[in-house]
Amino acid sequence: MLENITNFVAGAEWIWIIVIVAVLLFGVKKIPELAKTFGKAKGEYEKGRIEGDKELEELKGKQKDQSD
């Protein structure tokens, strides 16, 4: 059954289906708040990833110095 639906619905229609389901689940007033929260979470994730990469490079540099 799911194969029939996925064959019928192309890429752009999936976006509309997701939007309609989100509106039905959360309501029109909650969508901007959810988007704002998602944006903040993504920003925090990026900060953490950058900080982790810096710490990893520092650790690799220290290990290289100790091995020399």
Domain ranges of the chain: 2-67
For CA atoms 30, 36, 42, 44, the dihedral sign is negative
CB 23 within 8 A of CB 31: yes
Question: Between 22 and 68, where is the model more confident?
Answer: 22
Nearest 5°: the CA angle 60, 64, 67 is: 140
DSSP state of 61: H
Q: How far is Cα 25 from Cα 23, in angstroms, rounded to an integer?
A: 5
Model confidence pLDDT, tens digit, residues 12-64: 787 888 888 888 888 888 888 988 999 999 999 999 999 999 999 998 888 87
